[in-house]
Amino acid sequence: MGKLLNILSVDDEFRVGHALAFALSHPDRKLTLAFSADEALAKVTDHSESFDVAIIDHKMPEVSGIELVQRLRAANFDGKIIVLSAHLTHENRRAYAELNVDTMLTKPFDVHELRQVVDSLARVA
């Protein structure tokens, strides 16, 4: 890959965050975990780190993935966005498509597929 790929994972389930940490562990990738939309927005808007990819859960308490993506877009987040969820209806998929989400994957996720998607998005970034 070359440069360090900075990834933000946003999921309210600790076990999913840690599964992603295992799945994406690699010297060329740095994963930052956020367990709420507010925490994720704070990490993005404080500008201490620039994230290349955000992996977002759709179904979270208080703020849905759709609303989080809207807020990220409003904050001029220019990284790639992957939605990772077991709860995507046709309407949800359409809403994400309208927000120019790069990829939608279902849970439970395939580790190899996730790595491939992340790495392919990194090459385009």
For 38-68, what is each residue's pLDDT tens digit?
999 999 998 778 899 999 999 998 899 999 9
Cα(120)–Cα(113) distance, rounded to whole angstroms?
Answer: 10
**CATH code of the domain in which 20 resides:** 3.40.50.2300
At 77 the pLDDT is 92
**Mean pLDDT of the chain, nearest integer:** 91
| Predicted TM-score of the model (pTM) | 0.92
User: In this structure, which amino acid lies at residue 59?
Assistant: K
Could you tell me if residue 125 is inside a domain?
no
Give the range of the structural domain holding residue 41, as residue numbers without chain letter.
5-120
Q: pLDDT digits over 71-84, tens only?
A: 999 999 989 999 99
DSSP 30: E
Number of domains in the chain: 1
